Amino acid sequence: MALRAGPIVIASHNRGKIREIQDLLGPFGFDVRSAADLGLADPEETGETFAQNAVLKAETACRACRLPALADDSGLAVDALGGAPGIHSARWAGPERDFAQAMRNIEEKLQAAGATTVDKRQAHFVCVLALALPDGKTETFTGTVDGTLVWPPRGEKGFGYDPVFLPDGHERTFGEMSAAEKHGWSPGGPPGLSHRARAFAAFAAACLSPVNA
């Protein structure tokens, strides 16, 4: 599914996600807009998987504006909590998107479960990107990154659960990393560190060409 440079909609109102996807799209020459910019309402996320919710958001935005739409559904899956919060990661932050409280809630549940050692605090960030085109075609691309959860939170960069997620093989949380460190991806290079960068690398390999290629 080749995608030519031109207008593309990021089907999100989450400013952190929009910023990260805009950065990743940078080398490809797109005129990037967001659902928030266009005044598109968020659909109710009724899917039971990341992929289902990503497709729902992308196809809803694509139908509304008749432009290619790229949607992300992502979240944190904690082994000791049976994979929670998973697809409900944003909902754990409540209507005010209070991720500081969401991180406290996870820590309280980990403590209650006796998950106090590194081997019991394993977690995974998962991202599915869905691309929906006006011709009716939709494809999905998945990226994951493994790590452990730290407490207390460390760092003020990134967003969401980044300050408590320590990716395997690293000494700093996502909340302590710059955008370049967190993503670590460029066209033709390794797939990157973050779950979103890894999903985007798969999307780019299948669909995109840099503007100077």
Which residues belong to the active site?
A: 73
Residue 177: inside a domain: yes
Residue 196 burial (CB count, 10 A): 26
Instruction: State residue 48's pLDDT score.
Output: 95
Instruction: State residue 20's pLDDT score.
Output: 86
Residue 110: inside a domain: yes
Residue 95: inside a domain: yes
Residue 35's CATH number: 3.90.950.10
Ordered per-residue pLDDT tens for the chain, 213 residues: 778 889 999 999 888 889 888 988 988 989 999 999 999 988 988 999 999 999 999 999 999 999 999 999 999 999 999 999 999 998 999 888 899 999 999 999 999 999 999 999 999 999 999 999 999 999 999 999 999 999 999 999 988 999 999 999 999 999 999 988 888 766 776 778 999 999 999 999 999 876 654
Rounded CA-CA distance 186/175 in Å is 21
Residue 213: inside a domain: no
Rounded CA-CA distance 58/97 in Å is 22
Into how many domains does the chain fold? 1
Which residue do the tokens 């452990």 mark? Answer: 148
E strands present in the chain: 7-10, 31-34, 69-78, 122-132, 138-149, 165-167
Instruction: State residue 210's pLDDT score.
Output: 66
pTM: 0.91
Instruction: State residue 149's pLDDT score.
Output: 98
Instruction: State residue 191's pLDDT score.
Output: 72
Residue 34: inside a domain: yes
Which residue do the tokens 């039971």 mark? Answer: 48
Instruction: State residue 213's pLDDT score.
Output: 46
Which residues constitute the domain of residue 114? 7-207
Residue 53: inside a domain: yes
Residue 71: inside a domain: yes
